[in-house]
Chains A and B, each alone.
Chain A
């Protein structure tokens, strides 16, 4: 393993326009009108030898992921192109080279995402339909059972259709007032702290300070409540869900 004399590396969180105000924890490494939001980190934590082990340490991973998001939050209103977890460079010169190699890509990403934030909207199924009735012991023979079973299945299908229609309607109305929108897979219960089923996991790109989307959520919330869906808004986030497709370096 090659170790730099200082035994540190540079962790890059995101890319902003050069001249953005830095804050305490991070340094802006500037190159060609761009700046990498970076922090000097110990190789003992982020080096190739120790990283695999650290990443298996749940507390460390979660703290590091939260720190990543925390750093980017400071730039959320000035415009930032968020990087995924784990862009680590051996020294600042390498970060400059990376900025230079991908200059056109980052400039174009910044011009699209600057002045915009991401708003998360989740839908939770809080009022599932009544549980299917159990076949009773007194059921009048097999035919009655089969008929009841058929009715139950039909009712379950109708109820699922109602939820899908309601969720789709929420997305359609929010998408109409957003710059862009994306629907992600609902998160499983194991990852959320709720026992309710998540039925919508969407993100919308809106101009900084624009309240139209949130007002629209408030407007459609009453409607979706009738279908048993509760809406939850999160953010503003850096536009993680709206970064342009990755491309190879220019060189």
Chain B
């Protein structure tokens, strides 16, 4: 990464670029364009495991009470609904992996 000058940690030295940050952005954000070669998420066990970990964090957040933005009228519904969770659910339903109300685990 070329411009790390902004990286900062209030508890001490510079923070390394975190792989999790890159995975989250490159695999879950950015514009989705279906190219000629389709990536079928269902065939991607590892990717799905990673995605599941990101989803699972929502429950953890709720458990800790750190889910305040979910109910924030300004933040809620802006772009979260089209995220991983709904996409995985759709894929799982389409494949018959869940009956539509199954838990993430």
What mask results when residues 227 to 251 of chain A are scored 1 for a CB within 8 Å of chain B, else 0?
0001111111110110101100000
B18 at the interface (CB under 8 A from A): yes
B46 contacts across to A, CB distance below 8 A: 55-58, 61
Q: Across the interface, do A167 and B53 meet the contact criterion of CB distance under 8 Å?
A: no
B94 interface residue (CB < 8 Å to A): no
Are B78 and A182 interface neighbours, CB within 8 A?
yes
- B25 contacts across to A, CB distance below 8 A: 69, 82, 237, 240-241
Q: Which residue of A lies closest to B75 (CB)?
A: A183
Q: A66-B22, A85-B27, A234-B18 are in contact. Are A76 and B35 (CB under 8 A)?
A: no
What's the Cα separation between A218 and B10 when bound, in Å?
A: 7
- Cβ distance B20 to chain A, nearest Cβ, rounded Å: 4
Complex formed: what's the CA distance from A198 to B53 in Å?
A: 14
Closest residue of chain B to A86 (Cβ to Cβ) is B39
Size of the A side of the interface (Cβ < 8 Å), in residues, is 83
Residue-wise, chain A 141-169 has the 8 Å CB interface mask toward B (1 for contact) of 00000000000000000001101100110
Give Cα A190–Cα B32 distance, bound, in whole angstroms. 26
Please determine whether A56 and B22 come into contact, CB atoms closer than 8 angstroms. Answer: no
Assembly CA distance A167 to B65 (angstroms): 11
Chain A nearest CB, measured from B40 CB (Å): 7
Contact of A84 among B6, B7, B32, B75 (CB under 8 A): B32
User: CA of A85 to CA of B32 in the docked complex: distance in angstroms?
Assistant: 8
Q: Which residues of A in the span 99-135 have a Cβ within 8 Å of any Cβ on B? A: 102, 109, 119-120, 124, 126
Which 8 interchain pairs have the tightest Cβ spacing? Answer: A240-B29, A52-B43, A221-B10, A84-B30, A191-B20, A240-B25, A88-B37, A183-B69
